[in-house]
A and B are shown apart, each in its own frame.
Chain A
Amino acid sequence: MVFEKIAEMLAEKLECEASTIKMETKFDELGIDSLDVMELLMNVEEEFGTEVELGEGKVESVGDLVKTIESKM
């Protein structure tokens, strides 16, 4: 569920098909910087009503972000 939401948000931002976004897709490859990732996270927080503190561990891929969010849910 989290992955689908993130893929949808990324697709909207990048104006591409959500199906092109995979768990292993790196943000670098998408031209997404760390601030964009933060922004994405903030939107996800709003969507799921959870609070996720970034800070521990690297968030380099879509999968990393999904795991970070899921671990806090």
Chain B
Amino acid sequence: MLTNKVAVVTGGSRGIGAAICKKYAEHGADIAFLYAGNTAKAEETVAVLENIGVKAKAYQCDVANADQVKEVVKQIVTDFGQIDILVNNAGITKDKLVPMMKETDFDAVVDTNLKGTFYMTKQVYSLFMKQKSGKIINITSVSGLNGNAGQANYSASKAGVVGLTKSVAKELASRGVCCNAIAPGFIETDMTEKFTSNEAIKDSIPMKRFGQGEDVANVALFLASFMSDYITGEVIRVDGGMAM
């Protein structure tokens, strides 16, 4: 479904990002993914993708750093020749109740989750515009839709991603570029470890189970493929009914 496409995935070495990379690779896309710091894990993911039979390369980049993002996107275009799909997945949490939340905790989360998404989008914008096609998929969260105690910074950043998604969708709709978001609920990854051992949380999910990276990757595949060509500015929840 994605043969001859090049996908860029931020936060691609593990968790939801790695699941998306794998899914895209299984459908024929070459993969350039960004990772923050865990080189060993990134190399592992590259090996998995290469085993599937596609070209794959990992780039260390802090998406909260506009200069680094500019350089890395340039490098990817040099290495791969084109970009067709951008998945803004890189995200961090620094959960605390508001009185305990330092300004630096707030800024760090907004910088990576929201500004990182903006910086990446900015760098592919003219590229997609020029080729009159492209898919931007932003990973937000049900926390950004409904709010979540202890996640003022995270949910604010993710709600921001929803607004960003819709604005970019409107700006680029006439150029054949789609921009959509996926709002995962509780997905079993390293980032949600502390939640996924909690039975009370599991019980609060209508489907009574946590999601898997692949549940999100399946929707990311749909949004990256021609099957969603008439969908833009949409937010699709992948949450077992949680934010219904």
- Give the B-binding residues of A (Cβ under 8 A): 35, 38-39, 42
Contacts and interface: CB of A to CB of B under 8 A. Distances in A.
A42 B129 CA distance: 10
6 contacts: A35-B129, A35-B174, A38-B126, A38-B129, A39-B130, A42-B129
Contacts, number: 12
Nearest to B174: A35
B71 interface: no
The DSSP consensus for interface residues of chain A is helix
B171 interface: yes
A56 to B, nearest CB: 16
Contacts of B27: none
A38 B171 CA distance: 12
Majority SS at the chain B contact face = helix
B96 interface: no
Contacts of A42: 126, 129-130
A35 B171 contact: yes
Contacts of A35: 129, 171-172, 174-175
Nearest to A46: B130
A35 B175 CA distance: 9
Contacts of B126: 38, 42
A48 to B, nearest CB: 16
Contacts of B171: 35
A35 B172 CA distance: 8
A13 B141 CA distance: 42
Interface string B147-184: 00000000000000000000000011011000000000
Contacts of A39: 129-130
A35 B126 CA distance: 10
Given A35-B129, A38-B126, A39-B129, 9 more contacts: A35-B171, A35-B172, A35-B174, A35-B175, A38-B129, A39-B130, A42-B126, A42-B129, A42-B130
A65 B172 CA distance: 21
Contacts of B130: 39, 42
A31 B194 CA distance: 55
A46 B172 CA distance: 21
Contacts of B174: 35
Which 7 A-B pairs rank lowest in CB-CB distance, beginning with the nearest? A42-B126, A42-B130, A39-B129, A35-B175, A35-B174, A35-B171, A35-B129
Contacts of A38: 126, 129
A20 B126 CA distance: 28
Interface in B121-135: 126, 129-130
Contacts of B172: 35
